[in-house]
Amino acid sequence: MALFKIAGGGGLSNIKEVPFKLEKELQLLTEANLETLFGLEFVSTELERDGLRIDTLAYDPDSRSFVIIEYKKDQSFSVVDQGVAYLSLMLNNKEVFLVEYNERRSKSLKRDGIDWSQSKVVFVARSFTNYQQLTSGFRDLPIEFWQVTKYDTGLVSYEQIRTKKTAAAIKALQTEGVTQEVVQQVKTYTEADIVPKEGKTRDLYFAIRERILSLDSDLKIHVTKTYISFRQPENWRNIFSIAFRVSRLRVELLRTKPDDLTDPENKVTYIKESVQYWNQHVSILEVFDMDQIEYAIYILQQVLENFRTMKDK
């Protein structure tokens, strides 16, 4: 994508792209800004195990899963082979990765506190070939592409290349045992996996989803194994999330206490242990019927406005 700067007299001057000289330059820049770029915690760099070296190991506190980041200066690599190899390494050495996290972060995560099924590999490079993007299109392959462009003005852009996911599943192919082992344990979740196939909560979800996106069309939907969250793309922080219960939706309002809201019907309740468990205030709003959607949006709009105010400070 060509970038221009407005020059004197209203003309445009081209902002030139400059290459990263080494993969390490790109790696150091990314590692220093993991939270800003991806909402991830940095764990370690150049982790070696069983003949493989992981460029960057990160942790996603939102999905409680590990993320492996690999940097590529050229385009001569197989995303499927390398991605599956890294995931296999992790899944066969869970204790090693857990110890690495606890020692590096000075924390005490338990093995059952990690959701290994949401592990993924992120490739970061200047560009990707069409073939690489096509071969990563299996719906059950947890691989992401991020394209990075550096400019001579000091600007840098990170853009996720969203590959078109097909209906095909890699586990349906006649692949090697290691691939089958990985895809049996790791899953990329979509709304279709989380939202009930029919019933009241499905109707409630799509009704409130439409209203939420009308509040801010830039909000992004992020799906995990247990809930669906709404976030703004520039900061990776969830604003609110929705979980499904038998007869209702449980809407979690993040970084929010009931006192932060105008709630004349007193429907918002506070999770007392939220700071202890999640290091932030969390409140809950439950939605049982369609006639409660309007009030829920009234509350969610306040949460969104409060979030914008916090972000601007």
Residue 218 — pLDDT band, cuts 50, 70, 90?
confident
Show the CA angle centred on residue 103, arms to residues 100 and 107, nearest 5°.
110
| Structural domains of the chain ordered from first start | 10-185 (3.40.1350.10), 191-312 (3.90.1150)
* Each residue's pLDDT tens digit, 3-59: 888 877 778 888 888 888 888 999 999 999 999 899 899 999 999 988 889 999 999
pLDDT of residue 173: 46
Query: What is the value of pTM for the model shown?
Result: 0.74
Q: Which of 39, 66, 62, 44 lies closest to 54 in space, CA to CA?
A: 44
Structure tokens at 161: 């290349």
pLDDT of residue 206: 96
- Other CB atoms within a 10 A radius of the CB of residue 133 amount to 15
**Greatest alpha-carbon span in the chain:** 64
If one compares 151 and 76, the residue with the highest pLDDT of the two is 151
Please give, one letter per residue, the 3-state secondary structure of the chain: CCEEEECHHHCEEEECECCCCCHHHHHHHHHCCHHHHHCCEEEEEEEEECCEEEEEEEEECCCCEEEEEEEECCCCCCHHHHHHHHHHHHHCCHHHHHHHHHHHHCCCCCHHHCCHHHCEEEEEECCCCHHHHHHCCCCCCCEEEEEEEEECCCCEEEEEECCCCCCCCHHHCCCCHHHHHHHHHCCCCCHHHHCCCCCHHHHHHHHHHHHHHHHCCCCEEEECCCCEEEECCCCCCEEEEEEECCCCEEEEEECCCHHHCCCCCCCCEECCCHHHHHCCCEEEEEECCHHHHHHHHHHHHHHHHHHHHHHHC
Q: Which of 43, 42, 34 lies closest to 101 in space, CA to CA?
A: 43
- Contact by Cβ (8 Å): 223, 190: yes
Give the Cα separation of 119 and 64 in Å (integer).
Answer: 9
pLDDT of residue 237: 79
Give the Cα separation of 178 and 176 in Å (integer).
Answer: 6
- Contact by Cβ (8 Å): 21, 14: no
If one compares 134 and 108, the residue with the highest pLDDT of the two is 108
* Each residue's pLDDT tens digit, 73-109: 766 667 777 888 888 899 889 999 999 999 999 888 8
* Each residue's pLDDT tens digit, 200-214: 999 999 999 999 999
Mean pLDDT of the chain: 86
Averaged pLDDT for residues 173-200: 75
pLDDT of residue 14: 85
Give the Cα separation of 4 and 298 in Å (integer).
Answer: 41
* Each residue's pLDDT tens digit, 263-308: 999 999 999 988 887 788 999 999 999 999 999 999 999 999 998 8
pLDDT of residue 263: 97
Is the pLDDT at 138 greater than 60? The verdict is no
If one compares 192 and 311, the residue with the highest pLDDT of the two is 192
If one compares 169 and 108, the residue with the highest pLDDT of the two is 108
pLDDT of residue 313: 43
Give the Cα separation of 44 and 103 in Å (integer).
Answer: 10
Range in 36-40, 186-190, 217-221, 249-253 the model is least confident about: 186-190
pLDDT of residue 256: 95
Sign of CA dihedral 125, 129, 132, 133: positive
pLDDT of residue 174: 44
Range in 114-118, 138-142, 301-305 the model is least confident about: 138-142
